[in-house]
């Protein structure tokens, strides 16, 4: 050997020659597929810790932990089988479970270790590559890292073993314990510990039951707020119940005293929807179909028109025509509202820093809440039917309009805006003559998104009585009419593809005109 410091050995320190050989073989791609690291096979996560490879440490630790938990589950069910020896059917069940867990434990342990030993040198080589670039990355072999192992082990393993070897108490028995303690009775430490550590997350906060609020009419017929305090010995409630009650009360208050506001919105939505569905549903089907196909032809060309014709044919032949037109009206109404509200909001977000800071979290929340959660407030304020369906749809489908409008505006080159300013554009002219036209492709993409998301939400809104195609699917779900459900689902898919193709092709055509 020459005196050149060998980086492989410098990196690996202990057993440097072995790792130098392995790394060189990996770099030359001559490492056999069945290469395993024997010390990793034996040492598992301890080996990984000594080598400071924390990825491998987690992999090895989790594998061994899974095996260990299965062993303790095996022990638990063995024990349970013995304890329930007088109930034959339970013994059979527990013995079956304990066997499964034992087999799982053995398989996970053996396969896991082999996998680990196979991964070990390969991932260790990756760590070496990173270390070559950044010498701050841990290298070498150090016994001091065993303290980390001990710490992790002490924090996680005992509790995991205890959790899997004991039967978790149910919530009710824990509440009973709480009451017993507050009544001054003594409770076994083990029961208390089980309730606290291995059951449901313990209820830490108990609050006095809030007043019951009602809104009776007084002698003049006006609504009043009446608070009824809870009875003397009513048990306290959890935080969740308390807050949920408060929310219910405020919604109740708003609907009772500001009902005209919500009624106004409902009226507006109903009027708008009536006008649109008068066109779609009220027109004889031949005319609607002809106009839709011709419109598709004009906007997106003959191929899309053929597709639209075929899809409409499917809907008509399978008896979904009225429902599909109903759905289309709902989509149309909510899309119009989304665009009308989303465009100015998008401009605000795109142009003002304050708008961006305010709207970004709001949009994030709107997009992450599961879609059918929107149905609840819609019902609470607007009861059931089509208007709340439209409203839930609008909330669900508006974010992409806002985001893509803002994105389009932000993508307008700074230099183009500067040129417009240099020729004396005022802010309004800058927006209407430069920014919005240049953002148009992005805005069109936003409209497409809005239409697609409206369609998917309108189907869900059938659950609160919005009707249309979604209603057929919901009905089929309730009565397990699988075939009919699938046919209706296909119809919805065709409807979606139809709209998507027309809007997309249409916007492509307008964009390519210059």
Partner 1 sequence: MTVTMPTQENDVVVVQNVWKIFGERANEAMEAVRRDNLSKAEVLDKYGCVVGVRDVSISVAKGEIFCIMGLSGSGKSTLVRHINRLIEPTNGDILINGINVGDLDPEALREMRADKIGMVFQNMSLLPHRTVRDNIAFALELRGVDAFTRAELADKVIGLVSLQGYGDRYPSELSGGMQQRVGLARAMAANPDILLMDEPFSALDPLIRRGLQDEFLELSHSMKKTTLFITHDLDEAIRMGNRIAIMKDGEIVQIGTPEEIVTKPIDKYVSDFVAGISKLKLVFAHTVMEPIDAYIARSKTSLSTEKYPKAGPEDDLDALVTLVVDQEHPILIESNGKPIGIVTKDALLRAIKGES
∠ at Cα 298 (297, 304), nearest 5°? 30
Cβ within 8 Å of residue 323, ≥6 positions away: 467, 468, 469, 471, 472, 488, 491
* Least CB distance to partner 1 at residue 453 (A): 28
128 and 11 Cβ atoms separated by less than 8 Å:
yes
Residue 351 is a binding residue for partner 1 (CB under 8 A): no
Closer residue to partner 1, CB minimum distance, 208 or 418? 418
Residue 413 is a binding residue for partner 1 (CB under 8 A): yes
Residue 129 is a binding residue for partner 1 (CB under 8 A): no
d(CA 441, CA 437): 8
Closer residue to partner 1, CB minimum distance, 135 or 514? 514
Closer residue to partner 1, CB minimum distance, 96 or 413? 413
Residue 416 is a binding residue for partner 1 (CB under 8 A): yes
d(CA 123, CA 128): 9
Closer residue to partner 1, CB minimum distance, 297 or 417? 417
Please choose, out of 139-147, 244-252, 402-410, 428-436, the segment that lies near partner 1 by the rule CB under 8 A: 428-436
Residue in 44, 50, 8, 46 with CA at minimum distance from that of residue 25: 8
CA 430 to chain centre: 39
223 and 256 Cβ atoms separated by less than 8 Å:
yes
Closer residue to partner 1, CB minimum distance, 412 or 494? 412
* Least CB distance to partner 1 at residue 394 (A): 30
d(CA 323, CA 313): 14
Among 316, 421, 487, 490, binds partner 1 (CB under 8 A): 421
Closer residue to partner 1, CB minimum distance, 212 or 433? 433
CA 321 to chain centre: 33
Closer residue to partner 1, CB minimum distance, 29 or 426? 426
Closer residue to partner 1, CB minimum distance, 272 or 420? 420
- Footprint of partner 1 on 231-270 (CB under 8 A): none
Among 134, 415, 478, 483, binds partner 1 (CB under 8 A): 415
Residue 433 is a binding residue for partner 1 (CB under 8 A): yes
DSSP SS3 for 185: coil
What are the backbone angles phi and psi of residue 199, rounded to the nearest 5°? -95, -150
Please choose, out of 194-202, 256-264, 343-351, 418-426, the segment that lies near partner 1 by the rule CB under 8 A: 418-426
d(CA 390, CA 162): 51
Q: What does R_g of the chain's alpha carbons equal in angstroms?
A: 33
355 and 411 Cβ atoms separated by less than 8 Å:
no
Please choose, out of 176-184, 293-301, 374-382, 409-417, the segment that lies near partner 1 by the rule CB under 8 A: 409-417
d(CA 134, CA 483): 61
> Residue 382 CB: number of other CB atoms within 10 A?
22
Among 134, 231, 426, 480, binds partner 1 (CB under 8 A): 426
Q: Strand pairing partners for 226? A: 214
DSSP SS3 for 285: helix
d(CA 140, CA 158): 30
* Least CB distance to partner 1 at residue 426 (A): 6
* Least CB distance to partner 1 at residue 15 (A): 50
The H helix count followed by the E strand count for the chain is: 22, 4
Closer residue to partner 1, CB minimum distance, 161 or 343? 343
Closer residue to partner 1, CB minimum distance, 328 or 420? 420
**CA dihedral sign, ordered 437, 438, 443, 444:** positive
Residue 418 is a binding residue for partner 1 (CB under 8 A): yes
DSSP SS3 for 367: helix
Q: How many residues belong to the site for partner 1 (CB under 8 A)?
A: 19
Residue 221 is a binding residue for partner 1 (CB under 8 A): no
* Least CB distance to partner 1 at residue 438 (A): 7
Closer residue to partner 1, CB minimum distance, 213 or 438? 438
> Residue 250 CB: number of other CB atoms within 10 A?
11
- Footprint of partner 1 on 495-514 (CB under 8 A): 514
Residue 487 is a binding residue for partner 1 (CB under 8 A): no
Binding mask 43-82 for partner 1 (x = CB under 8 A): ----------------------------------------
Site residues (vs partner 1, CB under 8 A): 413, 415-416, 418-426, 429, 433-434, 437-438, 440, 514
């Amino acid at each position: 050997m020459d005196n050149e410091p060998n980086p492989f050995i410098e990196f690996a320190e202990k057993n440097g020659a072995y790792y130098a050989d392995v790394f060189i073989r990996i770099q030359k791609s001559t490492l056999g597929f069945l290469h395993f690291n024997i010390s990793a096979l034996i040492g598992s996560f301890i080996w990984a810790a000594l080598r400071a490879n924390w990825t491998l440490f987690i992999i090895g630790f989790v594998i061994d932990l899974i095996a260990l938990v299965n062993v303790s589950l095996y022990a638990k069910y063995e024990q349970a089988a013995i304890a329930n020896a007088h109930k034959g059917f339970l013994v059979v069940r527990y013995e079956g479970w304990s066997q499964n867990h034992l087999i799982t434990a053995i398989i996970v342990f053996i396969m896991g270790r082999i996998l680990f030993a196979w991964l070990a040198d390969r991932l260790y080589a990756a760590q070496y590559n990173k270390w070559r670039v950044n010498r701050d990355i841990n290298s070498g072999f150090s016994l001091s890292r065993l303290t980390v192992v001990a710490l992790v082990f002490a924090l996680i393993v005992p509790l995991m073993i205890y959790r899997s070897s004991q039967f978790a108490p149910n919530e009710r028995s824990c509440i009973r314990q709480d009451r017993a303690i507050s009544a001054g009775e003594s409770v076994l430490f083990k029961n208390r510990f089980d309730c606290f550590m291995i059951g449901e997350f313990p209820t830490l906060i108990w609050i006095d039951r809030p007043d019951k609020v009602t809104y009776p009419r007084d002698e003049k017929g006006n609504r009043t707020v009446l608070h009824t305090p809870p009875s003397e010995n009513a048990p306290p409630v959890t935080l969740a119940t308390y807050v949920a009650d408060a929310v219910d009360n405020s919604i109740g208050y708003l609907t009772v005293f500001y009902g005209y506001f919500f009624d106004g919105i409902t009226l507006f939505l109903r009027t708008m929807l009536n006008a649109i569905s008068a066109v779609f549903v009220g027109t004889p089907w031949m005319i609607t179909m002809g106009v839709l196909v011709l419109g598709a032809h004009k906007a997106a060309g003959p191929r899309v028109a053929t597709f639209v014709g075929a899809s409409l044919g499917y809907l008509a032949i399978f008896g979904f025509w009225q429902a599909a037109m109903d759905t289309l009206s709902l989509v149309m109404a909510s899309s119009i509202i989304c665009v009308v509200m989303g465009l100015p909001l998008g401009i605000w977000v795109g142009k003002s820093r304050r708008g961006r800071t305010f709207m970004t979290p709001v949009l994030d929340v709107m997009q992450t809440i599961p879609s059918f959660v929107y149905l609840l407030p819609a019902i609470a304020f607007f009861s059931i039917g089509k208007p709340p369906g439209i409203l839930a749809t609008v909330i669900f489908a508006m974010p992409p309009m806002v985001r893509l409008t803002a994105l389009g505006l932000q993508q307008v080159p700074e230099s183009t805006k500067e040129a417009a300013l240099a020729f004396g554009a005022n802010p309004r002219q800058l927006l209407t003559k430069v920014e919005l036209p240049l953002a148009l492709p992005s805005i069109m993409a936003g409209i497409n998104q809005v239409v697609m998301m409206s369609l998917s939400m309108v189907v869900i809104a059938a659950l609160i009585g919005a009707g249309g195609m979604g209603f057929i699917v919901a009905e089929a779900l309730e009565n397990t009419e699988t075939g009919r459900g699938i046919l209706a689902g296909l119809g919805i898919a065709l409807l979606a593809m139809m709209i998507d193709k027309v809007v997309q092709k249409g916007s492509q055509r307008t964009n390519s005109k210059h």
